[in-house]
Amino acid sequence: MAAITWASLHLKTPTPSLHFPNLPKPHSILTRPAPRPRIRASLIEPDGGTLVELMVKESEKLSKVKAAEQLPKIRLSAVDLQWVHVLSEGWASPLRGFMRESEFLQTLHFSSLRLHDGSRVNMSVPIVLALDDLQKSRVGSSTAVALVDDGGDLVAILSE
């Protein structure tokens, strides 16, 4: 009895009528030229719109080295030295040096910096030069200090 029910149900089910439009023959297919790639060869804009390079020009090097001889010196750790390289080559644009307190707090609380024009740039990692009390006392009231590596060689001059 189950076989009869299935057979009668199968006969009552309408079959869909499929209609295929006349497709073009392979020899009549029109080909379009491939679209031209839309790739531009350019660099992305630095944060803040301007690359901040802090490298000293070759013509000014001698005078800067002589000026640094008179300044108090701060010996950099390996990590601090790497941050100086990051800053000097513009990788941390728009920073023009180690972060000041306000920039440091913005980075900690908002993971960004507000620029002078009101715009914001992502800056989630604080870039600071931490000094202990002994180093601070050596700097005193000087407005500039010479940053030196482990060998005592001048790396940078930090000024206001």
Condensed to tens digits (0 to 9), the pLDDT of residues 93-124 reads 899 999 999 999 999 999 999 988 888 999 99
For position 50, what pLDDT does the model report? 79
Closest CA to 149 of 82, 69, 61, 72: 82
Distance CA 148, CA 3 (A): 95
**Structural domain contains residue 36:** no
What CATH number does residue 115 fall under? 3.10.400.10
For position 6, what pLDDT does the model report? 54
For position 125, what pLDDT does the model report? 94
**Structural domain contains residue 23:** no
**Structural domain contains residue 134:** yes
Residues near 121 by Cβ (< 8 Å), separated by ≥ 6? Answer: 47, 48, 94, 112, 113, 115
Domain limits at 153? Answer: 72-159
- Number of folded domains that form the chain: 1
**Structural domain contains residue 33:** no
For position 26, what pLDDT does the model report? 62
Closest CA to 154 of 89, 86, 94, 64: 64
pTM, full prediction = 0.67
**Structural domain contains residue 41:** no
